[in-house]
Amino acid sequence: MNHESVSYKIFKICNITLLTILVIIMIFPYVNVLAYAFNDSMDSQFGGITIYPRVFTFDNFNLLLQNNAIIQAFWISILRVVIGTAFAVMVQYACAYAFMMRGITGRGLILIFLLIPLYFNGGLIPTYLIYSKMHILNSFMVYILPVSFSLYNMVIIRSYLYSIPESLGESARMDGANDFTIMMRVYMPLSLPIIAVMTLWTAVSHWNDWVTTLYFITNHKLFTLQYILMQILKEGDRVAKLLEEAIIHRINPVASSQQHITPAAIRAANIIITTLPIVIMYPFLQKYFVKGVSMGAVKE
């Protein structure tokens, strides 16, 4: 029978209490914004909204989801996440497999060369000039190519690959398999935990980024949802214009109620729309997260 000491029981109580407080502190702001997003905007002005809406309504979301610019920005963000994440994970995994092989000449020198940009950055103007020479300014490819490689992610993937028995690859090579076949059919099926972790990290990075749009995109058709959210949060005039357009073009029966939607309600609803996909994605990849990070961080 396992007997716990008094000091350990005290530690467990303190630990659980502290973690519970931290969870409440982190979750409450999001739940509060969710309550404001689903609450009638005129009623919200009286305050007192905590974790549930007092006067439930979908009007705040209806106004946003009927705006063509926001719908287009949403699909641009989805497209960026899907294509950018798939391409980045593929590039990083292929590089990790290549650097894992011992027969590469100058492997250490190449790693040192790749390590330099982690400490020294050319700045915004050189980056802008490079993108201009690459002809990816004001293009969808500016979302994909510059962030397709991450040395940090590649090193973690390589460390994970080292934990896979090398004899598996040697056996496949003896059967006539080339390096590409070994990578795809031997190593990759055994690397699903670390691939899931890298997919999560890369997808979250793509989804949350709005700076790229701010610096390198002027075409309104390529704006991302996060960039529009940033504008809505910072520009009161944009929110007022959004409400004006909704009132002018509204032809449905709820037009009269939507005329009283406030900028604060629009911001709350937009925050929920922007963060909801990531919140939904986490539970499906959570089972791989701890295993992938722990095994990728330590070489056996």
Instruction: Give every CB contact of residue 132 below 8 A, 6+ residues apart in sequence.
Output: none
Q: How far apart are CA 86 and CA 233, in angstroms?
A: 30
Whole-number percent of the chain with pLDDT over 90: 24
Q: Contact at 8 Å (CB) between 263 and 131?
A: no
pLDDT of residue 299: 46
- Cβ atoms of residues 109 and 223 within 8 Å: no
Q: What is the pLDDT, as a whole number, of residue 253?
A: 44
Q: Considering only residues 157 and 118, tell me which one the structure prediction assigns the higher pLDDT.
A: 157
Per-residue pLDDT for 182 more than 80? yes
The domain spans of the chain are 58-297
Confidence band, pLDDT 50/70/90 cuts, at residue 257: very low
Return the C-alpha torsion angle 118, 122, 125, 130, nearest 10: -80
Mean pLDDT of the chain: 82
For residue 244, the one-letter residue type is E
Whole-number pLDDT of residue 19 = 92
Counting beta carbons within 10 angstroms of the beta carbon of residue 177, is it exposed (0 to 12), middle (13 to 18) or buried (19 or more)? middle
Which CATH code for domain 58-297?
A: 1.10.3720.10
pLDDT interval class at 294 (50, 70, 90):
low
Q: For residue range 91-137, what is the model confidence (pLDDT) as tens digits?
A: 999 999 988 887 777 777 888 888 888 787 778 888 999 999 999 99
**Residue 43 vs residues 46, 59, 103, 244, 300: alpha-carbon distances, Å:** 6, 13, 69, 20, 59
What is the residue whose two structure tokens read 């802008």?
A: 128
